């Protein structure tokens, strides 16, 4: 049986428990902390923000992912980012990990951390420790516990984001196959323009896989998923994506880039893409998901540059919000994306579920039926196809429209 | 006497006449065409958009600036950009130049062209020729005619933009000095993220200067002026900046990079900076000009990257609109700008006319008086100073806030 979608998120894989609580770090009347714990130590892989100003928990996690390469728990808070907080912010990380480690009976360096929210303020350690204590008592491997965790890490997100898949691998004994699970959750709505990584994302799997291959798989998948979305072009200080693999599925451990590794990569890609697209569609203030497919391009790198320029253009984003078929803006974005192309050869289409409108070909904007274009632009998911006619490579990028609410949310984020 | 500001714009220099008219190309009830004519042929220099999709008039002007290097008139229309219009768009340019040349008694290749507005539609040649005919009859060297021309080329601009200076150079005979004038106009409000050039800008001077030096001066000044502004990160298909020098001031021609050339560059910088800052402050929907000064940086290139990242950040722009002193967003923008720096060493200030607030130093966001920050953020001109502590180079960039009106204007631009 091939890979299939299953319900749930971070607790879909065997041996992972989750909990959440209302720690009152900044938000009132909602949960704002989540914890993930594996029954056994996990191989861990991660990718992190390329922003030069890295939040304290990012620095902490990088130390573990590049150092120990193994971990057993994750503690996350929403509301305050613990970024630009100096030595005190780093001490908060040490204190959190020490307390969580003691509470869970694992080493402090087996505890990964994540924070998201406003940059600058310090997080009170006593609220974090109170939260960890509460959560340690209610850890659960149910789907509901995973879903509650995905809600607790939201900031300006309007929906929680989780996704899981299952696939089959040979058993460790070599007889028959066993089902392996891989699921994750993520949050992200503003300050979204991941570069080498994304906002907070946590993926768990019961697959037995070598840590180096786990990192290799993650590093291979992220450039085509999380790094292909943008909300506002602002790469956060806190972007963190972690994968924890505890090996409890009972599969023959993946130790080489073989068929099983290929299946694992496919599953990881599926989860990463779903979470990434959900983040793009839930961009701050967004009413529509924008997808741009670049086809027949000379290199994949160039295809990516074109696709990202279109979904990142403020003018394209505003036009989608206004459902205005101002196709010249797509041409303009392709034109400043960087790579060279011949404007006389390319073709641009507006693609709906049941209809397609040609915006541009033969070097000029085409006459099109405004009513048909309006109908396609009115859907929740708006897609542009750009045929560059220079080769055989392609790429897809996702973004969202630019709305009054984006301005409203970000004109007064702190209060 | 050193350089001084004078009133006027494109007609401030001797021997330049301007006209404008309502040609009804797209807008109704307002002027939408402008024409500039010099009494004698001019040395011409220009910089153009780096967008791969170049509008037809950009291609036309590039041919003249890189070919003949001399011209005598400029014909500009607002409303339709003549971009992504294929061979028909190029024929429109040829037809316009042929008709204007015949009407003015100059060669077609002495006529420079400019268009701004919506991308895609074709411009009807008969309206353009009717406009040229009307304008040819009312050309005037008055300040009012220049100002009217600067109004006729506006699209979503809310104010016209012109600026002029005068300075003194030795006479051609070598006895005493003569006053040289340099003035310009520009338009630009949306799709503003000039790269090697700007939106439409036309600068005239009666200075006698070698064409190669004229181009050298322009190319030296643009990177620090027009290329340091951004409204929305979208580099237009039509960006064009032209300087016409007719030599009628009577100065000893500038033929080397001497003291006179230095004075000319200073004057050109002054005009370009003023027009550029006016465009940034008049960004679509903008309520405030944002200025970012980067100081003590290792290289000028890096200083520029930092300054442009801050003024280009959607989150910084929205925060200025909301007068929310969310200083972490400036840190975040510096962090993803590209160049390396030590977050523990830099300092960031919010600078007002009479007060300064420290946002960040010693590796952390500082406590500051919210009332004082609000007062500074409430001014029309908001300034951030970033001290990178890595060297002695600096740069300044200008942008504007992100407002509901930007979204409104661009959600429905075509109608």
Q: Based on the domain organization, do B191 and B295 belong to the same domain?
A: no
| Interval A263-288: pLDDT, tens | 999 999 999 999 889 888 888 888 99
Query: Is the Cβ pair A363, B53 closer than 8 Å?
Result: no
Q: What is the DSSP string of B323-361?
A: T---THHHHHHHHHSSS---TTT-EEEEE-SS-EEEEEE
Provide the CATH number for the domain around residue B385.
3.10.20.340
Q: Is B239 on the interface with A (CB under 8 A)?
A: no
Query: Is the Cβ pair A410, B84 closer than 8 Å?
Result: no
CA distance B151 to A396: 42
Nearest residue of A to residue B347, measured between CA atoms: A84
| Interval A159-204: pLDDT, tens | 899 999 999 999 989 899 999 999 999 888 766 665 433 478 899 9
Nearest residue of B to residue A343, measured between CA atoms: B53
Q: Based on the domain organization, do B108 and B66 belong to the same domain?
A: yes
**Strand partners for A45:** A243
Q: Which long-range contacts (CB under 8 A, 24 or more apart) does B139-142 make?
A: B139/B17, B139/B18, B139/B19, B139/B35, B139/B37, B140/B11, B140/B17, B140/B18, B140/B19, B141/B11, B141/B15, B141/B16, B141/B17, B141/B18, B142/B11
**Residue of B331, B403, B410 lying closest to A119 (CB–CB):** B331
Contacts of A410 in chain B (CB under 8 A): 314-315, 318-319, 322, 402
- What is the number of domains present in chain B? 2
- Residue pair A47/A84 in contact (Cβ under 8 Å)? The answer is no
Q: Which of B369, B344, B339 is nearest to B356 (CA)?
A: B369
| Interval A327-365: pLDDT, tens | 888 998 999 898 999 999 999 999 999 999 999 999 899
Q: Based on the domain organization, do A377 and A249 belong to the same domain?
A: no
Name the H helices within A4-44.
none
Decide: residue B408, CB within 10 A, 0-12 exposed, 13-18 middle, 19+ buried. Answer: middle
Cα separation of the two ends of chain B? 51
- Residue pair A307/A294 in contact (Cβ under 8 Å)? The answer is yes
Contacts of A347 in chain B (CB under 8 A): none
- Residue pair B244/B36 in contact (Cβ under 8 Å)? The answer is yes
Contacts of B363 in chain A (CB under 8 A): 84, 86-87
Q: In angstroms, what CA-CA distances link A263 with A3, A16, A182, A218?
A: 8, 21, 11, 13
> What per-residue confidence (pLDDT) applies to A12?
95
To 5 degrees, how large is the angle CA B254–CA B258–CA B263?
A: 75
Catalytic-role residue among A116, A129, A155, A198: A198
> What per-residue confidence (pLDDT) applies to A49?
84
Please name the residues between 140 and 179 in chain B that touch chain A, using a CB distance below 8 Å. Answer: none
> What per-residue confidence (pLDDT) applies to B156?
82
| Interval A133-155: pLDDT, tens | 999 999 999 999 999 999 999 98
Secondary structure (3-state) at A242: strand
Q: Based on the domain organization, do B251 and B348 belong to the same domain?
A: no
Please name the residues between 84 and 113 in chain A that touch chain B, using a CB distance below 8 Å. Answer: 84-89
Residue after which a domain boundary falls, among A281, A297, A325:
A281
CA distance A357 to A384: 10
Query: Is the Cβ pair B324, A190 closer than 8 Å?
Result: no
Please name the residues between 291 and 350 in chain B that touch chain A, using a CB distance below 8 Å. Answer: 312-315, 318-319, 321-322, 324, 326-329, 331-337, 340-341, 343-344
| Interval A279-312: pLDDT, tens | 888 888 889 999 999 999 999 999 999 999 999 9
* Interface contacts A/B by beta carbons within 8 Å: 223
Say what percent of chain A tops pLDDT 70: 97
Q: How many CB atoms lie within 10 A of CB B137?
A: 9
Domain extent at residue A311: 289-411
**Residue B167, min C-alpha distance to chain A (Å):** 38
- Residue pair B214/B247 in contact (Cβ under 8 Å)? The answer is no
CA distance A377 to A375: 6
Q: For the CA atoms of A119, A120, A121, A127, what is the dihedral angle to 10 degrees?
A: 50
Decide: residue B392, CB within 10 A, 0-12 exposed, 13-18 middle, 19+ buried. Answer: exposed
Q: What is the mean pLDDT of chain A?
A: 91
Query: Is the Cβ pair B119, A326 closer than 8 Å?
Result: yes
Q: Based on the domain organization, do B233 and B195 belong to the same domain?
A: yes
Q: What is the DSSP string of A369-390?
A: -HHHHHHHHTSSEEEEEEE--S
Q: Based on the domain organization, do A208 and A326 belong to the same domain?
A: no
> What per-residue confidence (pLDDT) applies to A197?
37
**Residue of B343, B407, B409 lying closest to A407 (CB–CB):** B407
Identify the residue among A310, A328, A347, A358 best suited for mutation to test binding to B, counting B beta carbons within 10 A and taking the highest: A328
Residue after which a domain boundary falls, among B281, B310, B339:
B281
> What per-residue confidence (pLDDT) applies to B180?
95
**Residue A144, min C-alpha distance to chain B (Å):** 34
Q: In angstroms, what CA-CA distances link A388 with A338, B85, B149?
A: 13, 18, 39
| Interval A13-67: pLDDT, tens | 999 999 999 999 999 999 999 999 999 999 999 888 888 888 999 999 999 999 9
Q: Based on the domain organization, do A149 and A205 belong to the same domain?
A: yes
Q: Is B363 on the interface with A (CB under 8 A)?
A: yes
Residue A47 annotated among the catalytic residues of the structure:
no
Q: Is A238 on the interface with B (CB under 8 A)?
A: no
Provide the CATH number for the domain around residue A107.
3.60.70.12
List Cβ neighbours of B259 (8 Å cut-off, separation of 6 or more).
none
> What per-residue confidence (pLDDT) applies to B410?
80
Beta strands in A138-176 (DSSP E): 161-170
> What per-residue confidence (pLDDT) applies to B413?
58
Q: Is B281 on the interface with A (CB under 8 A)?
A: no
To 5 degrees, how large is the angle CA A402–CA B200–CA B283?
A: 35
Contacts of B331 in chain A (CB under 8 A): 53, 83-84, 119, 237
Q: Is B358 on the interface with A (CB under 8 A)?
A: no
Q: Based on the domain organization, do B166 and B63 belong to the same domain?
A: yes
Contacts of B191 in chain A (CB under 8 A): 315, 329, 332
Query: Is the Cβ pair B336, A408 closer than 8 Å?
Result: no
Q: Based on the domain organization, do B275 and B303 belong to the same domain?
A: no
Q: Based on the domain organization, do B147 and B197 belong to the same domain?
A: yes
Our separate counts of H helices and E strands in chain A read: 11, 15
Query: Is the Cβ pair A120, B408 closer than 8 Å?
Result: no
CA distance A226 to A199: 9
ipTM confidence score? 0.81
Contacts of A413 in chain B (CB under 8 A): 319, 322, 324, 326
Q: Based on the domain organization, do B168 and B211 belong to the same domain?
A: yes
Q: For the CA atoms of B328, B332, B334, B335, what is the dihedral angle to 10 degrees?
A: 130
- In order along its 415 residues, chain B shows pLDDT tens digits of 589 999 999 999 999 999 999 999 999 999 999 999 999 999 999 888 888 888 999 999 999 999 999 999 999 999 999 988 999 999 999 999 999 999 999 999 999 999 998 888 999 999 999 999 999 999 999 999 999 999 999 988 888 999 999 999 999 898 999 999 999 998 887 666 654 334 788 999 999 999 999 999 999 999 899 888 887 777 778 888 889 999 999 999 999 999 999 999 999 999 999 988 988 888 888 899 999 999 999 999 999 999 999 999 988 999 999 999 988 889 989 998 989 999 999 999 999 999 999 999 998 999 999 999 999 999 999 999 999 999 999 999 999 999 888 888 888 756 4
> What per-residue confidence (pLDDT) applies to B1?
58
Residue after which a domain boundary falls, among B236, B259, B281:
B281
Provide the b/e sequence for B83-114 (b: ≥16 CB within 10 Å).
Answer: bbbbeebbebbebbbebbbebbebbbbbbbbb
| Interval A113-123: pLDDT, tens | 999 988 889 99
Q: Based on the domain organization, do A212 and A305 belong to the same domain?
A: no
């Amino acid at each position: 049986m091939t890979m299939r979608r299953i319900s749930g998120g971070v607790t879909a894989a065997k041996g992972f428990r989750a909990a959440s609580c209302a720690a009152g770090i900044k938000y009132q009347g909602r949960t704002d902390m989540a914890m993930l714990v594996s029954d056994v130590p996990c191989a861990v892989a991660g990718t992190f923000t390329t922003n030069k100003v890295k939040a304290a928990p990012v620095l902490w996690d990088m130390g573990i992912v590049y150092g120990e390469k193994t971990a057993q728990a994750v503690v996350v808070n929403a509301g305050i980012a613990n970024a630009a907080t100096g030595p005190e912010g780093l001490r908060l990380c040490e204190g959190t990990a020490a307390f969580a480690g003691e509470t869970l009976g694992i080493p402090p360096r087996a505890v990964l951390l994540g924070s998201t929210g406003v940059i600058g303020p310090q997080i009170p350690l006593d609220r974090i420790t109170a939260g960890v204590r509460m959560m340690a008592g209610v850890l659960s491997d149910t789907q509901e516990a995973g879903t509650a965790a995905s809600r607790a890490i939201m900031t300006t997100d309007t929906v929680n984001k989780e996704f899981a898949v299952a696939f089959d691998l040979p058993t460790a004994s070599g007889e028959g196959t066993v089902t392996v699970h891989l699921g994750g959750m993520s949050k992200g709505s503003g300050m979204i323009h991941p570069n080498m990584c994304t906002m907070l994302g946590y993926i768990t799997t019961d697959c037995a896989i070598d840590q180096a291959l786990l990192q290799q798989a993650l590093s291979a998948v992220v450039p085509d998923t999380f790094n292909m979305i943008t909300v506002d072009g602002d790469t956060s200080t806190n972007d963190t994506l972690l994968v924890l693999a505890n090996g409890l599925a009972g599969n023959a451990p993946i130790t080489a880039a073989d068929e099983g590794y290929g299946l694992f990569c496919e599953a990881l890609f599926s989860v990463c893409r779903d979470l990434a697209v959900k983040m793009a569609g839930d961009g701050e203030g967004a009413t529509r998901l924008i997808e741009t497919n670049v086809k027949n391009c000379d290199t994949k790198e160039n295809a990516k540059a074109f696709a990202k320029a279109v979904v990142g253009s403020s003018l394209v984003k505003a036009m989608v919000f206004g459902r205005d078929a101002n196709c010249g803006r797509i041409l303009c974005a392709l034109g400043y994306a960087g790579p060279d192309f011949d404007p006389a050869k390319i073709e641009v289409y507006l693609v709906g579920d049941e209809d397609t409108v040609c915006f541009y070909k033969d070097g000029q904007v085409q006459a099109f039926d405004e009513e048909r274009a309006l109908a396609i632009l009115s859907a929740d998911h708006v897609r542009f196809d750009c045929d560059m006619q220079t080769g055989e490579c392609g790429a897809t990028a996702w973004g969202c429209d630019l709305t009054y609410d984006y301005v409203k949310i970000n004109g007064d984020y702190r209060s």
